[in-house]
Amino acid sequence: MSLESPVLDIDPLLDDPKTRIIVCCGSGGVGKTTTAAALGVRAAERGRTAVVLTIDPARRLAQSMGLTELDNTPREVAGIDRSAGGSLHAMMLDMKRTFDEVVVQHSDAERARAILENPFYQSLSAGFAGTQEYMAMEKLGQLRAQDAWDLIIVDTPPSRSALDFLDAPKRLGSFLDGRFIKLLMAPAKVGGRAGVKVLNIGMSMMTGTLSKVMGAGLLRDVQTFISAMDTMFGGFRTRADATYRLLQAPGTAFLVVAAPERDALREAAYFVERLAAEDMPLAGLVLNRVHGSGADRLTAERALAAAEALEDAAAEALEDAAADAAAEAADALDEDGARDEDHGRDEGDTAENLGTGRMVDPSPGNAVRGSADGTQEHQDRTEGDRQARTERLTAGLLRLHAERMQVVARERRTRDRFVSVHPEVPMVDVTALPGDVHDLDGLRMIGLRLAGQPAAA
Ligand SMILES: Nc1ncnc2c1ncn2[C@@H]1O[C@H](COP(=O)(O)OP(=O)(O)OP(=O)(O)O)[C@@H](O)[C@H]1O
Ligand SMILES: [Mg+2]
């Protein structure tokens, strides 16, 4: 008997006008993007003015939502049923461009150019660990500030760990706040104002050593970058803090997505604990790609036993059939030998008929009797063959069913382990669809399952 947990009721959450932000988190590949997109479609078709911020959606899914360009602004999704008064916009996060936007917004034109052209900035903005997470939060803050949507659904980056999403902004902050940077910034602080000019005095003490290590050109780049970032730094911090507060606000709901596998659920458990520690509101857990069976009254053990019995029976029937066939063939040969004497027919021809069990002697007259006998034998044999074949196929099917039931049982045990640690967390199971989810109909199917209506799909 599996452990029970409260049911995660998606529709009331989507319908509640107080729900303003839904964040879909989880470890890599569990279905965060799919869940976010499916929630977007469902919310819109239930009347919400929704926007979904996706990160790295699979190409076909992106295309089906009209996301063919990375232009960093939400576009309306075509094909949404708007009869309930809702709509759906969607965008893919362009991390680099979001970073650039932040730079431009927070500095004057000259400084912005200096930063954007700086090689350190270019590598930082494209590849620094956590930048994508930070930029997702940044974009969320922007969308919220725009106030054009009453529900924002956020997908999170494909990090290995769900916790990265919450850790990244701090990590980026502590990088900007770090020892190395403090060291480089110290002269500027002494100078009282941030700027390239004032860096020079204090810097010159270190420059000799550092430029030997790093090369003079590189050092200059770092200094330019750091001093330029310094003016924005306050902005970064303030914004990261503001977004963090947004995530703690009552209108925000976190959904943790997990596959029914040990690692994903262990990760989900950490995340649930972390959200609690951060005062971030958890709506529940989506257990995605769960396997079920319409015939779950037949256990794996019984299915396997039945498969073995059938296979044994089929093998026996086959042996019997082979023995019968050999005996029949011998009889038939004798009989035909007698007939040949009577009618002077060609023996080879008859043997061939027997051998294939199909050909009918085309010559008129004798053919009538001969073929009537052959068809009877042939029917008996094909009947036997067919039965053996059916038995083998049935056995194969039973074995498949047994495997499926073993997967179901394993998933249930994994799920139970999570529930025993977090019995308070509401959950919903989303069964695995037969193929990938890459169009609006697929998203609607996921939406139905999210709403706990698998039978209607
Ligand atoms: N319930 C489901 N049934 C069938 N396929 C699914 C289901 N959920 C997700 N998928 C498929 O699994 C793949 C991974 O899903 P998705 O991209 O949503 O995961 P993700 O958590 O966003 O991954 P990443 O961490 O890489 O961003 C996709 O091909 C998607 O179509
Ligand atoms: Mg994804």
Distance between Cα 444 and ligand 1 center (Å): 14
What spacing in Å lies between the alpha carbon of 410 and ligand 2's midpoint? 25
128-146 core/surface letters (b: 16 or more CB in 10 A; e: else): bebbbbbbbbbbbbbbbee
Token match 């989900």: residue? 268
User: Between β-strands 151-155 and 252-258, what pairing exists: parallel, antiparallel or unpaired?
Assistant: unpaired
CA distance 370 to 320: 25
Give the CA-trace dihedral at 3, 457, 87, 158, to 10 degrees.
Answer: 50
Judge if the beta carbon of residue 56 lies within 6 A of ligand 1: yes
Q: With respect to CATH, is domain 10-291+432-456 assigned 3.40.50.300?
A: yes
**3-class DSSP state for residue 287?**
strand
CA distance 428 to 423: 13
Pairwise CA distance, residues 91 & 55, whole Å: 8
454 lines ligand 1 (CB under 6 A): no
Ligand 1 binding pocket includes 31 (Cβ within 6 Å): yes
Q: Which ligand 1 atom sits nearest the alpha carbon of residue 438?
A: 31
What number of CA atoms fall less than 13 Å from residue 232's CA on the CB side?
27
Candidate from 23, 33, 133 with most ligand 1 atoms within 8 A of CB, to mutate: 33
Distance 274 CA to ligand 2 centre (A): 21
> What's the confidence (pLDDT) of residue 284?
97
The residue whose CB lies within 8 Å of the most ligand 1 atoms, and thus the one to mutate among 437, 440, 445, is 437
* pLDDT of amino acid 50: 98
Ligand 1 contacts CB of residue 320 (under 6 A): no
What are the φ/ψ torsions at residue 24 (nearest 5 degrees)?
-100, 115
Judge if the beta carbon of residue 449 lies within 6 A of ligand 1: no
At 311 the pLDDT is 84
- Taking the centre of ligand 1 as the mean of its atom positions, its distance from the CA of residue 141, in whole angstroms, is 26
Compute, in angstroms, the gap from residue 454 CA to the centroid of ligand 1: 18
Residue nearest to atom 9 of ligand 1 (CA): 31
Task: Note the pLDDT of residue 387.
Answer: 80
C-alpha to C-alpha distance for 415 and 114, rounded to whole angstroms: 52
pLDDT at 453: 85
List the chain pLDDT tens, one digit each, 457 residues.
Answer: 567 889 999 999 999 999 999 999 998 899 999 999 999 999 999 999 999 999 888 889 999 998 877 678 899 999 999 999 999 999 998 878 888 887 888 778 888 888 888 777 776 666 555 677 778 888 888 899 898 999 999 998 877 666 777 776 666 666 555 555 555 555 444 444 444 444 444 445 455 555 555 566 666 777 677 666 666 656 666 777 787 888 888 899 999 999 999 988 998 999 999 899 988 899 999 999 999 877 778 888 898 888 888 888 878 877 777 787 777 777 766 665 554 444 444 444 444 443 443 434 444 444 444 455 556 666 666 777 788 788 888 888 999 988 888 989 999 999 999 999 999 999 999 999 988 999 999 999 999 999 998 654 4
Query: What does the angle CA 131 – CA 137 – CA 138 come to, to the nearest 5 degrees?
Result: 80
Q: What pLDDT, on a 0 to 100 scale, did the predictor assign at position 359?
A: 39
